[in-house]
Amino acid sequence: MTKLHLRANTFTLLQTVTSVGLSALAWVVTGVRPIWNGSQPSERQRIYFANHASHGDFILLSACLSEKVRARTHAVAAAEYWGKSRLRRYIAEDMLSSVLIHRQWTDEAQNPISIMLLVLDQGHSLILFPEGTRNTSDEPLLPFRSGLYNLSMARPEVELIPCWIENMSRVLPKGQFLPVPLLCRVVFGPAVTIAPGEDRRAFLERARQTLLALNPRPDRDD
């Protein structure tokens, strides 16, 4: 807990350099263009939730945020992948300032919701992929897992902003490490809130449909 607390509150020189460098690379390779459709850039605390098809998704989304907001926004990533080796963990935590969570956990200290709430309670924002894994299927968006609902119930004051990431799966296909130059867009939609009396399944499906509606090219998989 202490280690996470320090990392969530201290954006180190290495993380700053990495953040600026990756954002610049994202702009050069993809010419990424943020489209604010129903929401506006803001320094208020948020959970940005997005579709997930590539390891580069959070880099593209982060590149659309201001440097100040980026320094207090952490991508949530799977510990099963990024914690496999010291190098991966170093890249994820020390360089990218990501929050690693265990999708399969038994120890309460690894409870993903508790870990994410700890970051939120320090005033920071999150980038969350509610599908829970990279989407390699033919479906444009997988069903959402319950984390988004649980976080919003616990911290209703934190804005939930849907973000559709276009083309990143083509820029950095699964298993590839060298990006392919291709124009990308990130569409930021209106904030989503849990309606009074709305149950978990209804909210998650409504949030999913809100995200799907932001897809500028629904006839094509991204």
Tell me the average pLDDT across 117-128: 97
Please check the confidence at residue 78 and state whether its pLDDT lies above 60.
yes
Please check the confidence at residue 183 and state whether its pLDDT lies above 60.
yes
The reported pLDDT for the residue numbered 25 is: 67
Cα–Cα distances (Å) from 28 to 10, 49, 66, 89, 180, in that order, read 28, 24, 17, 26, 11
The pTM score is: 0.85
Tokens, residue 72: 């207090």
Please check the confidence at residue 39 and state whether its pLDDT lies above 50.
yes
Residue type at 204 in one-letter notation: L
Please check the confidence at residue 185 and state whether its pLDDT lies above 80.
yes
Structural domains of the chain, ranges and CATH numbers in brackets: 2-212 (3.40.1130.10)
> 15-37: per-residue pLDDT in tens?
777 777 766 766 666 668 899 99
Q: What is the Rg, in whole angstroms, of the alpha carbon atoms belonging to the chain?
A: 16
> 155-177: per-residue pLDDT in tens?
999 999 999 998 655 545 555 55
